[in-house]
Amino acid sequence: MKNKMWTLGFSIVLAGSVMAGSAHDDASDPAYADGWQNYDNGGYGFGAWVMGYWATNGVDRIGIGSATNNGGWYATNNIDTSARSFRIMNADGTSGYIEVLRYLNTDLEAGQNFSFDFDVNWRNGWKGLRVRGEDDSTPIFLIEVGGDDGTFVDNVDGGRTNIGSAHSDDTQYHVVLEQTSAAGGTWTATRTGGITDSDTGTYAGKMSSIQLFSDGVSSDQWSDIYFNNFDVSYTPGFDHYAAWTNQYNLSGADAAMDADPDGDTMKNLLEFSVGRNPTYDEGGYRAPEFLGNSTQGLVYVYTRYNDEVAAAYGLDYSLVLADNLTAAWETNGFVELPPVHLWGDLVTVTNYVPTTDPAAFATLRVESL
């Protein structure tokens, strides 16, 4: 059901911060056909892998392989894609800290979740994955296996916790961080294999990057750790509009879709549809505008979010035309070009409006679905 609809004319502002899109990568991507190397960049939505000194200066410390070879010879919940996973190993027995970093293209936003899988056998040394916050250094979540004691979660609300001390050479974890607000979210670590278990908790901050690591492990094959299926997706059923109003501390009448708390003549729904700040008049940046005439008609350009973000946020954008202000608005009669990437998740859309009629009116309409 359509909840609210507002029309956006030529003079209303379109500007805003970007929202994060989805992301995915796994070891079967063609980028890793020749192995896993520094600055490889498979999948989409992530930056390139950046490998630390001890990851690249040695023999067989990182690579691609099957997690089913991780000493247990069998994986109940095989994390491979096409028999391939990302492998961190210590074949030459270095005492160095082997680490591999990767950034999201944009930080995890409320209503999104980040997930990954890993397979582990022996627990000597320390190995795992650290999620880092917006300042690129402060960890907001850590899961590591080692110390001959079990699996630990740290840097979260409640502090360091041992979530599994029983050993099995057939062990996989599926980990999910769900961003429930701009301030933090919930984590879930589900263990499968020889032992099944699930643990959950909360964390503070927003994910910006990840750090895969192995430190002080033995050179035995079964000391390897395998990762795969890195994914960022939108949380089904999440109320993105409510999260947006909470982010700006709007409540009561000021949080309504038809409210205009900053008095800039742009209703909240329209501010939300382009990621604007509803508490501050941001001027006329990126207003929809006519850019002149062409052989195909008047050139009308507006800015919006890409299809993926618009669908996740329940937003529909359409240019409508009418011969006069009392006539019915129509969604045809003009030529729309494919969207062009502008920045982050924003795109620009160019339309050609015909000049065959003596008068015409155009407006951008945004609807909440």
Domain ranges of the chain: 4-16+250-368, 23-234
Q: List the structure tokens of 89.
A: 């190993």
Determine contact, residues 140/134, Cβ cutoff 8 Å. no
Determine contact, residues 346/333, Cβ cutoff 8 Å. no
Q: Where are the alpha helices (DSSP H) in the chain?
A: 53-56, 240-247, 268-273, 307-312
Euclidean distance between CA atoms 98 and 88, whole angstroms:
8
- Residue 95: per-residue pLDDT: 79
Euclidean distance between CA atoms 330 and 320, whole angstroms:
5
Q: List the structure tokens of 84.
A: 């391939």
Which residue is associated with the tokens 């998740």? 345
Q: Looking at 147-296, which runs of residues are DSSP E strands? A: 150-154, 161-164, 171-181, 184-193, 197-204, 209-215, 225-234, 289-294
Would you write out the chain's pLDDT as a tens digit for each of its 369 residues? 344 444 444 322 223 333 457 999 999 999 999 999 999 999 999 999 999 999 888 778 999 999 988 765 566 789 999 999 999 988 777 778 999 999 998 899 999 999 999 999 877 889 999 999 988 778 999 999 998 788 999 999 999 999 998 988 889 999 999 999 989 999 999 999 989 999 999 999 999 999 999 998 887 777 889 999 999 999 999 999 999 999 899 999 999 999 999 988 888 998 888 778 899 887 666 667 777 777 778 888 888 889 999 999 999 998 888 877 777 888 788 888 999 988 778 888 998 888 777 667 788 888 988
Euclidean distance between CA atoms 20 and 105, whole angstroms:
8
Euclidean distance between CA atoms 80 and 25, whole angstroms:
12
Determine contact, residues 366/266, Cβ cutoff 8 Å. no
- Residue 163: per-residue pLDDT: 95
Residue 345's contacts (CB-CB under 8 Å, 6 or more residues apart) are 18, 19, 20, 21, 106, 305, 306, 308, 309
* C-alpha closest to that of 264 among 246, 251, 277: 277
Q: Distance from CA of residue 129 to its chain's centroid? A: 17
Euclidean distance between CA atoms 46 and 168, whole angstroms:
32
DSSP helix/strand/coil, 54: helix
Determine contact, residues 120/231, Cβ cutoff 8 Å. no
23-234: same fold as 4-16+250-368? no
Domain at 23-234: CATH architecture = Sandwich (2.60)
Domain 4-16+250-368 has CATH 3.40.50: no
Euclidean distance between CA atoms 55 and 212, whole angstroms:
10
Q: Any idea what DSSP says for residue 31?
A: G
Q: Where are the alpha helices (DSSP H) in 69-216?
A: none
Q: List the structure tokens of 282.
A: 């941001």
Q: List the structure tokens of 190.
A: 């589900």
